[in-house]
Amino acid sequence: MASIAPRYARAFAEVAESARLDANAAQQQMRDFAETLTANSDLREVLENPSIEMAEKLRVLDAIAARIAMFAQVRNFIAVIVEHGRLVELDEILAAYKEVVDAHAGATEARITSARPLSVEGRAQLEAQIAKLAGARVCAKYAEDASLLGGAVVEIGSTVYDGSLRAQLQQLKQRLVNA
């Protein structure tokens, strides 16, 4: 069965655009709610329990919305998710919404794994080069893997650019074995 997350994400993106919401602020509010939900098992139990009246769930949601200063549209979107029993898919919906927002903004996501932490300048230079490769603005996520020995591995969608020292040594080894 296909995930419904993209459908919910696109629907919310349309609502957010028509209401002229700041997409980043809306995203952050949904992330804040998701973090609150993850950290509080009692809250999750109340919102996911089918025996609890929807009116009670909405009162709880309204209290949270007031506390984290949620846009009314974000609160209503979360209410729809709760009402349709899709709260367990909230993280997927948030990821799909981020993709929709990034695509609308002309950005692409890149996962960068380096052997060691990169300086701010190093990150900026690498992101500029990746933006040229991708032909779009880049939203980079960084990770470290000491087994790379040096260099970096960049993933943009399903394309992998392996500029690691480990890969170069493996290629050299293969050429020596074949010679």
Mean pLDDT, the chain, rounded, equals 89
Mean of pLDDT values over 8-28: 91
What pLDDT is stored for residue 138 in this prediction?
83
To which H or E segment does residue 129 belong?
A: helix 120-134
pLDDT tens per residue across span 48-87: 999 999 999 999 999 999 988 899 999 999 999 999 999 9
159: containing domain: 108-178
pLDDT tens per residue across span 135-146: 778 888 899 998
128 and 75 in one domain?
Answer: no
What pLDDT is stored for residue 131 in this prediction?
87
Instruction: Using the 3D structure, point to which of 73, 103, 133 is the last residue of a domain.
Output: 103
27 — phi, psi (to 5°)? -60, -45
Question: pTM of the entire structure?
Answer: 0.64
Is 15 a residue whose pLDDT tops 80?
Answer: yes
Percent of the chain with pLDDT over 70: 99
49 — phi, psi (to 5°)? -75, 115
124 and 85 in one domain?
Answer: no
Of the pLDDT bands very low, low, confident and very high (cuts 50, 70, 90), residue 2 is low
Higher model confidence: residue 71 or residue 109? 71
Residue 147's contacts (CB-CB under 8 Å, 6 or more residues apart) are: 115, 166
CB 78 within 8 A of CB 33: yes
CATH of the domain at 10: 1.10.520.20
What pLDDT is stored for residue 110 in this prediction?
87
pLDDT tens per residue across span 111-132: 999 989 989 998 999 888 888 8
Instruction: Using the 3D structure, point to which of 74, 103, 132 is the last residue of a domain.
Output: 103
- How many domains would you assign to the chain? 2
Of the pLDDT bands very low, low, confident and very high (cuts 50, 70, 90), residue 1 is very low
Residue 147, class by beta-carbon neighbours within 10 Å (0-12 exposed, 13-18 middle, 19+ buried)? exposed
107 — phi, psi (to 5°)? -110, 155
Instruction: Using the 3D structure, point to which of 103, 130, 149 is the last residue of a domain.
Output: 103
97 and 117 in one domain?
Answer: no
